[in-house]
Amino acid sequence: MAVSFVYVTAPSPEEALRIGRTLVEERLVACVNILDGLRSLYWWDGAVQDEREACFVAKTRSELAEAVVARVRQLHTYEVPCVVVLPVADGNPDFLDWVAAETRPNS
């Protein structure tokens, strides 16, 4: 069973928590790690923006990645949220099995 990490940025730790908790409660992901204190520089509306953000990394079955991306897009307040899926090449088999056990099978 393949595992992926989903990386998402958010405008605040509160929004990251809200989205992350929903993903865990819906069993789309097994775990979310929230990191606060990001400083992001990016182009938006024709100018370089300099903003504080939070991000999170969600662990899920690769087969659920598309559903996770869709759900984050529904829940997110950004017009164009950063949501990227990163495949896990290898890791602790016990951890990877735990991710499988704590997420719902793709239906």
What is the reported pTM? 0.95
Domain count, the chain: 1
Check residue 1 and give its pLDDT: 85
Q: Who's near 97: CB < 8 A, 6+ residues apart?
A: 1
Do the domain assignments include residue 33? yes
CATH no. for residue 64? 3.30.70.120
Do the domain assignments include residue 43? yes
CA distance 61 to 69: 12
Side-chain-side CA neighbours of residue 106 (13 Å): 12
Do the domain assignments include residue 83? yes
Domain around 75: 3-102
Check residue 46 and give its pLDDT: 97
Do the domain assignments include residue 107? no
CB 3 within 8 A of CB 48: no
Do the domain assignments include residue 68? yes
Taking 70 as the pLDDT cut, the residues of the chain under it are: 107
